[in-house]
Amino acid sequence: MKPKITYRKITNKDIDLLFEWSNDELTRENSFNTNRIDYVEHQEWFLKKINNKNALYLISEVNNIPAALIRFDMEKDFALMGINLDKKFRGKGLSFIFLNDCCILFFEKYKLPIKAYIKDNNFASINIFLKAGFILEETIVYKNQKTHVYEKTAKI
């Protein structure tokens, strides 16, 4: 049976869930800041993001169960994208679906190119972004890490 996948904007009730996901071991390992996130720091970040008109944060749900956070932070000339899966949903081939669907949703409203900064040893993310049509734009040092910058633009 095919799972029912839906998307919704984050709400205040997601604060603890996102805190849990952000402190997952693999999430910390693949993040540019590998330190555990403090709850007070998380609350401040969450309140800024939920009220920011230049941020689009979506929760992907599988059969009404939260499975991933897909985020877009609007910069001047592009939107910075990230994805974080609940560990229970990893390895099921869902990342590509979430990423692809959310890019479509994003481009329905915005025309900015989407960029993703991915550490060079995060092969799972690199493969998923490539599969979703992102193109390697450049390799840089970002926050003291060798980083690949991938980009996807709206089809006109």
10-50 pLDDT, tens digit per residue, is: 999 999 999 999 999 999 999 998 899 999 999 999 999 99
In a domain, 77, yes or no: yes
Please give the mean pLDDT across all residues of the chain: 95
Pairing state between β 79-85 and 65-74: antiparallel
The number of domains in the chain is: 1
CATH number at residue 24: 3.40.630.30
Q: Which domain holds residue 76?
A: 5-113
Helical axes 123-131 vs 94-109, angle rounded to 10°: 50
- pTM here is 0.93
In a domain, 137, yes or no: no
